[in-house]
Amino acid sequence: MPHKDKHSTGSPQVSEPIYLLLGKLRRAHGIKGEIPLEIYSDMLELLSPEQVVYVGEIHQAHIIQETRWKNELLLIKFIDLNSREMVSQLTNANVYVKADQLPALPDDEYYPYQLIGLDVYDDQGSYLGQLIQILRTGANDVYLIENQAGDETLIPAIEDVILEVDLKQKKMLVVKLEWYGGGT
């Protein structure tokens, strides 16, 4: 039986938007309202002029006016912030986008945030637990599954193991492997 609420995935209630982290703002640059962004995402198209981003814990909406590179940081100028003093208030704030701003993916691909919280079952119908974390490794991602007792199982995120992902039913079906720690 699926467990709920032992580990909050940080996902909001159904009616609330999901925000995804793009980067962290640093100290203001110059006097015209530019601020450098340390980028945590490879989706740079979400940081182009006229895009809306959400800044800080309260997700304050700002529209990007222009951007330019300064070494490994992206300098951002927001339309509504025209001075160093105004933009300085955003120092060390995180920058987010709403999940619905992300480009659509092919049917068999998923963004990591869509998989967190899925109930995972093996091909024998046994409940293994809930996907609580995606671990990045050199070869392939690994899904960390935790059951109701707190036992953890690692599942390689490869085509031969992941049989089905059903986002509507919040369910993942995997091949039962002999080596994992889930029930045998």
Domain count, the chain: 2
In a domain, 155, yes or no: yes
In a domain, 143, yes or no: yes
Domain that residue 151 falls in: 112-174
b/e map 133-158, b = 16+ CB within 10 Å: beeeeeeeebbbbbbeeeeebebbbe
**Cα-flanking dihedrals φ and ψ of residue 171, to 5°?**
-140, 145
130 strand-pairing partners: 119, 146
pLDDT for the residue 16: 63
Last residue of a domain, one of 45, 80, 101: 101
pLDDT for the residue 137: 87
pLDDT one digit per residue (tens) for the chain, 184 residues: 444 444 433 444 455 678 999 999 999 999 999 999 999 988 899 999 999 999 999 999 999 999 999 999 999 999 999 999 999 999 999 999 999 999 888 888 898 889 999 999 999 999 999 999 999 888 899 999 999 999 999 999 999 999 999 999 999 999 987 654 544 4
Residues 62 and 125 in one domain: no
Which CATH number is 147's domain given?
A: 2.30.30.240
pLDDT for the residue 179: 55
Residues 73 and 140 in one domain: no
Last residue of a domain, one of 37, 71, 101: 101
Residue 50, phi-psi category: left (phi > 0), alpha (psi -120 to 50), beta (remainder): left
HSE-up (13 A, CA, CB side) for residue 46:
23
Cα–Cα distances (Å) from 117 to 7, 8, 27, 82, 154, in that order, read 9, 8, 35, 41, 15
66 strand-pairing partners: 77
pLDDT for the residue 177: 73
Q: Is the pTM of this model over 0.75?
A: no
> Within 10 A of 96 (CB to CB), how many other CB atoms are there?
21
Q: Three-class SS of residue 139?
A: coil
Last residue of a domain, one of 81, 101, 121: 101
Residues 59 and 122 in one domain: no
**Cα-flanking dihedrals φ and ψ of residue 44, to 5°?**
-65, -20
In a domain, 4, yes or no: no
Q: Which of 98, 161, 88 has its CA nearest to residue 131?
A: 161
pLDDT for the residue 105: 87
Which residue reads 């997700």 in tokens? 59
In a domain, 157, yes or no: yes
Residues 23 and 97 in one domain: yes
In a domain, 182, yes or no: no
In a domain, 166, yes or no: yes
- The answer to whether 64 and 74 are in contact (CB under 8 A) is no
